[in-house]
């Protein structure tokens, strides 16, 4: 599918989200209660940090361009570019931080295809993958010395997640507020 056809599809079905990568279109599905809660917590906590600027936080309703032919809908995106705050925009062009809450159906794509695309985007400095089944957050940070080198850090229960690209620390309790890991999941 051409990019023009993708935009037409987006215009014809505005309530449905499709990601676009090199001519392939992927329908985005809904997530679990835990996924929604964690993504919402991340959005709220980051948004509180930037109420007076200089960055803007978006939820998964905002499309993010990471390459010429790659458009995704991360669960949370932070941009510090004033152009990405213009009224009426539909696509973030200069993401700085992207957050993906891992789901069983999307984890493989998030860990391979998307992370590679995110690391190839020159404006993205940090990528966070948040586990929804156990308190664990993985963060990849681009080094200042070499734009092709990324450092990995992971955080578990009782720690604070450092998001150095936006100078924010979030506690695991803030990220996982409303999630009780002791409450067993129902059997399917």
pLDDT tens sequence across 68-103: 999 999 999 999 999 999 999 999 999 999 999 999
Query: pTM (2 decimals)?
Result: 0.91
Which of 28, 10, 112 has its CA nearest to residue 75? 28
**Of residues 134, 25, 32, 11, the one with CA closest to residue 73:** 25
User: Is-contact 65 93, C-beta < 8 A?
Assistant: yes
Mean pLDDT of the chain: 93
Rounded to whole angstroms, how far apart are CA atoms 166 and 178? 25
């Amino acid at each position: 599918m051409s990019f023009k056809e993708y935009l037409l599809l987006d215009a014809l079905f505005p309530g449905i989200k499709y990601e676009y990568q090199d001519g392939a279109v992927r329908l985005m599905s809904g997530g679990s209660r835990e996924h929604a809660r964690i993504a919402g917590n991340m959005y709220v906590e980051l948004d509180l940090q930037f109420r007076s600027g200089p960055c803007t936080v978006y939820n998964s309703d905002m499309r993010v361009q990471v390459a010429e032919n790659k458009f995704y809908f991360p669960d949370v995106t932070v941009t510090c570019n004033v152009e990405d705050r213009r009224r009426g925009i539909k696509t973030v062009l200069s993401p700085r931080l992207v957050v993906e809450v891992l789901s069983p159906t999307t984890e493989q794509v998030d860990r391979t295809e998307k992370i590679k695309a995110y690391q190839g985007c020159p404006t993205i400095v940090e990528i966070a993958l948040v586990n929804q089944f156990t308190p664990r957050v993985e963060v990849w940070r681009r080094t200042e010395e070499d734009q092709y080198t990324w450092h990995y850090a992971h955080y578990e229960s009782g720690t604070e997640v450092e998001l150095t690209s936006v100078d924010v620390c979030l506690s695991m309790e803030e990220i996982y507020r409303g999630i009780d890991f002791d409450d067993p999941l129902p059997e399917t």
